[in-house]
Structure formats: C-alpha cells, structure tokens
Amino acid sequence: MKIYTKTGDKGTTALFGGTRVPKHHIRIESYGTVDELNSHIGLIRDQEIPSETKEFLAALQHDLFTLGAMLATDPEKAQLKSGKERLNIPKIDVEAVKRLENEIDAMNETLPAMTHFILPGGHPTVSYCHIARCVCRRAERLATLLHTEEPVDAQVLTYLNRLSDYLFVLARKLSKVVGAEETPWIPEKK
C-alpha cells in the first residue's frame, strides 16, 4: 500500500463511497478529531497503569477506529447498489455504550464522592486523561454539528458523550493509583 496518493494535493479528500470533499469539511474535522482522540488514548495506554486499564483502553481504540469509519462514510453512499452496507465493519452500538457505562460504574465504586469540580492535573498520567477528555468533548461538538447538516448515527453521539465521562472518571481512578491529590475548584469570593 502506497502511503502517498497525491489525490489530496489540491485540498480535497475522499470519503468512503468516493465522494470528494474539502479537507476542512465538518465531516473531516469530526473524524479527524476522533483520530486525534485515539492518539491521546494511546498516550494514556503507554503510561505505567494497571494492565486491565490498558486492555480496556485498547478496546476503546478499536471502537474509535470503527466510529471514525462511520463518520468517514458519505451517508448518501453508505449502501451499495445491491442494498448491502458499504462498510463491512461492526458498528458502534448500544453494547459499546453499555461497556463504557459498566466501566464507569465499576471505577466510581472505588472513588470518594465528588463534592467540588476538580482541577485537571496532579500527575502527567492524570493530565493525559483530562486532555483526552477535552479532545473527546471537541469530537462530540463537531459530530453534533455535522449531525445538523448530515445524519450521524445516534450511537456515535451517545458513545462520544459517554467516553468523555469515562475519561473523567479514569482520571480520578488514576489519581488514586498514582497517589496524586485531587485539587478541588473552590471559587474565590470577592
């Protein structure tokens, strides 16, 4: 497989289905941000964290490739003339969202109750989680903007929303694992 094709040299790229769009198209921004998020999750996986967390993060990375492929498909060309789906990959579904919710619930059971907002930071690993959470929120904003113009599978939007929650709780869990203190945000009264 050749890495460079030269087909994008004039500022356009092809979606699954062959439609060419500008590289700044909201659909490209959406799945490009999901790709950025996937890279940040890889950075978290590269840290000294529990192996079961690394395994779960690897599964999330696979989900994000699936989600990106779903976003990279022109909805008007999602099906072949035969009626079969163009993408021969599993879709992000209710079960993928449920896996996130189950993991959030399991982590939350081991954490102290939150009484304030928490300032991001405390340890590089925790900070990587917060950066990934922010990128996830941006991906969600872009996907919802795309959805106002072209249909986006509802599970994509739900998954991104739940994933940002997961990354927040993961930051709290890893704070505990690495012994970092959570700093509450307490507004100063003037």
pLDDT per residue as tens, the chain (190 positions): 677 778 777 787 777 777 777 678 899 999 999 999 999 999 999 999 999 999 999 999 999 999 999 999 877 766 666 667 766 767 899 999 999 999 999 999 999 998 889 999 999 999 999 999 999 999 999 999 999 999 899 999 999 999 999 999 999 999 999 999 999 898 888 7
124 part of a folded domain: yes
Q: For position 66, which CATH number holds?
A: 1.20.1200.10
109 part of a folded domain: yes
* Burial degree of 50 (CB within 10 A; 0-12, 13-18, 19+): exposed
Residue 86 has what pLDDT? 65
188 part of a folded domain: no
Structure tokens at 20: 């060419």
9 part of a folded domain: no
pTM: predicted TM-score of the whole model, two decimal places: 0.90
> Cα(first)–Cα(last) distance of the chain, in Å?
62
Q: Buried b vs exposed e over 10-33: b needs ≥16 C-beta within 10 Å? A: eeebebebebeeeeebbbbbbbbb
43 part of a folded domain: yes
Domain of 96 in residue numbering reads as 19-71+91-180
Q: 176 in the Ramachandran plot: left (φ > 0), alpha (ψ -120 to 50) or beta?
A: alpha
Q: Could you give the number of structural domains in the chain?
A: 1
105 part of a folded domain: yes
